[in-house]
Structure 1
Amino acid sequence: MATLSSALSIATQSLQAQELELQVANNNIANASTTGYARETVSLSESTTSKDGKLQVGNGVNVTSVTSVRNDLLTLRIQQQTSQQSSSDAQVNALNQIQTLFPSTGTSLASSLSTFFSNLSALSTNPSNSADRQTAIQGAQALVSQFNSISAGLSGPASTLNTTVTTDVSQINQLASQAAQLNLELEQQNSQGQNLGPIGDQLNQVELQLAQLTNISVTHSSQGDTITTGSGTALVLGNQSYALSTSTDSNGNQKILDQNGSDITTQISGGDLGGTIQVRDTQIPSLLTSLDTLANQFATAFNTAQSKGYDENGNAGTALFSVSSTVAGSAASLKLATTDPAAIAASSDGSSGSNGNVANLTALQDAPLSSGLSATGQSANLVYLIGSYTATANSESTSISQSLTALNNQQGSISGVSIDQESANLIQYQQAYAAAAKVVSTIQSLFDTTINMIQ
């Protein structure tokens, strides 16, 4: 049976519900600019009705929950795109530094090759000219120095990239530990029926930071989020985190180990860590191999051309370059076998003033080497290769950035706070609160009247 007490109870429930909605709307407005904050809403449900004779009488309102408005699919896509963006940016940063080794103007490998062959060509006019021979030797030394310098320049970034690897792994472990702790808090609050929004916001931000470092996969459950690398290596399971570690391999590079000590370096992709490994283990070795191939094939071919002629003293030509018997390391170890200008085998018959072998020497500028490309062609290919790597990374970064902006805007339209909407909500909740308070006041007056009638 409907009574004043039941009416007062309904009005009180309404006051409490509207008060909570006012608090949540106010909190939304306060956090409108907070990074990672997801707009909260209050879920209300009608209380179970009761019978009053033949009538079903309402019993007010219940507060079901306070929830954060999120779209898990969008969150997942943002994590994936963030991981790819960070990988591309890491490659761009590293490749931009490496690209300075292959300038399009000024002193470069291509210009050193051109100068060397130009100096050799001068010997065809007067092969006995000591000044021209000295210039040719200097050109050879400059070319050797270019090979040595570029090789060192390609090997040098590995140290910096290895430092980045160890730093990224350390940050991943710290974030995984934070995520495990947040999972524990999430589980505790969930069991107590508390609002999970703030913890969920923090956990999402930690996962986004992890995605910036490496590719991750996230699975949600009542016990919190399970986080693994893209290859399935566990980082977080419930309130337990699993640390990655690093170890130096035979090449001096930092390899990445999972919690069991297994090498997962090749399985890492995405994020700053994945992009760093891509440059260190794929792109730099590719450039270095091309450089070593050019150094080895060019020096070997030139020494062969030398052997077909005679030096200034009429002796059979000997090697001008000292080159490794294997391709690997050829650019770094390349040096002049002699600095004697007379050693250049310009003569074809050993007679003084003969220049018959100069043509064989200078022909190597454009003649195909064993790779099928000339020295000039291989040098140009190196510039193209580093340019291609850099352009591809830049293009991917720009494209992903646009996609990520669109996704964040879409997420903002769902999870973001609209000041206008929240302000309108405040007015609505305030009016509802005032109405409920009026009901309470009216019922209180009725109680007072009833008591006075009894007295």
Structure 2
Amino acid sequence: MASDLLSIGKSGAMAARAALDVTAQNITNASTDGYIRRSVIQAEVSSAGGTGRAADISLSGVRIERLVRNADMFRQAEVRRTGSDSARANAEVSGLENIEDALEQSGVYNAVVGFESSLQQLASDATDPALRASVVESARTMTRTMNIAAQSLDQAGQGLQFEATDGVNQINILSAELARVNLRLTRAADASSDQTTLLDQRDHLLEEMSKYVDVATTFNADDTVSVKVGGVDLVSNGTAKTFSMDVSATDGTISFKIDGAAVTPTSGGLVGKQQALDKLKEVRTGLDTIASTLAAKVNDIQDDGEDLNGDQGTAMFTYSSGTAITAANIKLAFEDGAKIATAPLTPLVSNAGSRDQSNLAALMSGISSVDPAGKTDKLIFTISSAVQGRKVTRDALDAIASTAKITLQAQAGVSLDNEAANLVRYQQAFQASGRVMQVASEIFDSILGIK
């Protein structure tokens, strides 16, 4: 009997000590990012009877059955999925806000309105040098403002491209590390501390990767994981492929590849930046169209009229580089206000100083027909509406992602209160097991002392 008590007490003390070690590990890593709470599962140690008594069961103490990581794979997948959606929405909103600021802070709408207003003021006296100089100055302001707006949009695009490049680098770092974790998992002993630590690293790397692109995971029997992005393998066993990004030289949009194969992720921060760059392309095209259409209309009408010197009108707008007028290269073609063709063209007859404003009226009518101010306002309104709409979506996705994290944290997170209670419980279990062994020793001594 004493020998049985000793083995039972010993098994209980060893189990309690292991449980205390796990509890201490939980407390130590309570604030460690990616750490998942461990629990010890204990089971009875039982043995069958001797010969002819196989049906008899003898309980012989307690043992550690397994070490459990308190994380549900479904909840982890939900955290990755919702986190990826949230990251996409946040990246897109941030990019769209930069585009909105580039347009609004440049003052391009006010500059276009100012140019149209100066022409209307000129109609009060088409020969007034001061009013003509005002038109020239407002035209110069408008072209420079368009240049600034285009440069600001370019800077917003370069910022998005730089951030996307950093995201691509991070994906390659994470995928290479995940491949190394896979290799170590294949060599780790089952239920060992090393294995549970590697599993924490594996899950943490997957969560971090999902912030950049949505990942499809397949968990293998040896606890390694295979990762696909857009249906293409990124990590398989101990091998990680190269994730790369291409930037269009014509419009600045981006696309992605894995070892040269095109992929189309649907979520994650990189997709948000891709969507913002697509919107930037749309805005930039719209601004270029406004600049080129306005310049073409004004130049055509200038050609049909006479300036204050009696000469045929010349183009008011030209470009500083390239082959066509855009918002980035539009500039004023002349500085002399007398070259504004306000009078109708009269071949073979010089009407210097003419007060006939027929061509000025045609100029204002032509500008009104292409409506640069209205189109600029619509362009700004479009991007502003997009920002507000995406913010609503972002807030909703953030709430969903937060709920998923809270749900996982309730299961996998460390509660210091619970762990403190476990410390007391396992310490008392350890002391009780020690007392059992002490009693066994006393009983055994008493038996030996019988005469």
Q: TM-score normalised to the size of structure 1? A: 0.87
Distance 1:124 1:399 in 2: 53
In structure 2, the partner of 1:362 is: 364
Distance 1:424 1:145 in 2: 71
Distance 1:158 1:434 in 2: 67
Query: 1:131-146 alignment to 2 at 5 Å?
Result: 131-146=130-145
User: Offset at 1:329?
Assistant: 6.0
Distance 1:239 1:452 in 2: 65
Q: For 1:214, what is the secondary structure of its paired residue?
A: coil
**Which of 24, 27, 34 pairs up with 2:25?**
27
Matched, 1:272 2:269: yes
**Per-residue Cα deviation, 1:147-179 (whole angstroms, up to 9, x for no partner):** 222122222333333332332222211111111
Q: For 1:417, what is the secondary structure of its paired residue?
A: coil
Amino acid of the structure 2 residue aligned with 1:121: Q
Query: 1:328-343 alignment to 2 at 5 Å?
Result: 330-343=326-339
In structure 2, the partner of 1:63 is: 64
Q: For 2:65, what is the secondary structure of its paired residue?
A: strand
- Return 378-387 or 282-291, whichever deviates more: 378-387
- Return 315-324 or 84-93, whichever deviates more: 315-324
Whether contact under 8 Å (2:253, 2:274) holds in the other structure is no
**Per-residue Cα deviation, 1:178-217 (whole angstroms, up to 9, x for no partner):** 1112222222224575563222222222222212222222
Unaligned runs of 5+ in 1: none
User: Offset at 1:288?
Assistant: 0.7
Whether contact under 8 Å (1:295, 1:334) holds in the other structure is yes
Whether contact under 8 Å (2:342, 2:359) holds in the other structure is yes
**Per-residue Cα deviation, 1:57-101 (whole angstroms, up to 9, x for no partner):** 223222111111002112111112222222233233333333222
Query: CA 1:196–1:328 in 2, change beyond 3 Å: closer, same or farther?
Result: farther
Amino acid of the structure 1 residue aligned with 2:25: N
In structure 2, the partner of 1:410 is: 407
- Return 375-384 or 80-89, whichever deviates more: 80-89
Amino acid of the structure 2 residue aligned with 1:450: I
In structure 2, the partner of 1:45 is: 43
Distance 1:328 1:32 in 2: 62
Whether contact under 8 Å (2:185, 2:224) holds in the other structure is no
In structure 2, the partner of 1:311 is: 307
Query: CA 1:256–1:170 in 2, change beyond 3 Å: closer, same or farther?
Result: farther
In structure 2, the partner of 1:183 is: 182
**Which of 16, 19, 26 pairs up with 1:18?**
16
Whether contact under 8 Å (1:184, 1:238) holds in the other structure is yes
Distance 1:449 1:120 in 2: 118
Distance 1:254 1:299 in 2: 27
Distance 1:112 1:283 in 2: 23
Q: For 1:160, what is the secondary structure of its paired residue?
A: helix
Q: TM-score normalised to the size of structure 2? A: 0.88
Whether contact under 8 Å (2:103, 2:153) holds in the other structure is no
**Which of 348, 368, 373 pairs up with 1:376?**
373
**Per-residue Cα deviation, 1:413-432 (whole angstroms, up to 9, x for no partner):** 11112222222222222222
In structure 1, the partner of 2:172 is: 173
Distance 1:248 1:98 in 2: 18
In structure 1, the partner of 2:244 is: 245
The sequence identity of aligned pairs, in percent, is: 24
| RMSD after superposition | 2.8
- Return 112-121 or 415-424, whichever deviates more: 415-424
Q: For 2:76, what is the secondary structure of its paired residue?
A: helix
In structure 2, the partner of 1:446 is: 443
Whether contact under 8 Å (1:31, 1:37) holds in the other structure is yes
Distance 1:383 1:257 in 2: 29
Query: 1:61-210 alignment to 2 at 5 Å?
Result: 61-103=62-104, 108-191=107-190, 196-210=195-209
Matched, 1:290 2:286: yes
Amino acid of the structure 1 residue aligned with 2:48: S
Q: For 2:31, what is the secondary structure of its paired residue?
A: coil
Q: For 1:322, what is the secondary structure of its paired residue?
A: strand
Whether contact under 8 Å (1:109, 1:147) holds in the other structure is yes
**Per-residue Cα deviation, 1:245-269 (whole angstroms, up to 9, x for no partner):** 35565449596664532343xx134
**Per-residue Cα deviation, 1:120-162 (whole angstroms, up to 9, x for no partner):** 1122221111221121112112111122221222223333333
Unaligned runs of 5+ in 2: none
Distance 1:252 1:136 in 2: 33
Distance 1:227 1:395 in 2: 34
Q: For 1:102, what is the secondary structure of its paired residue?
A: helix
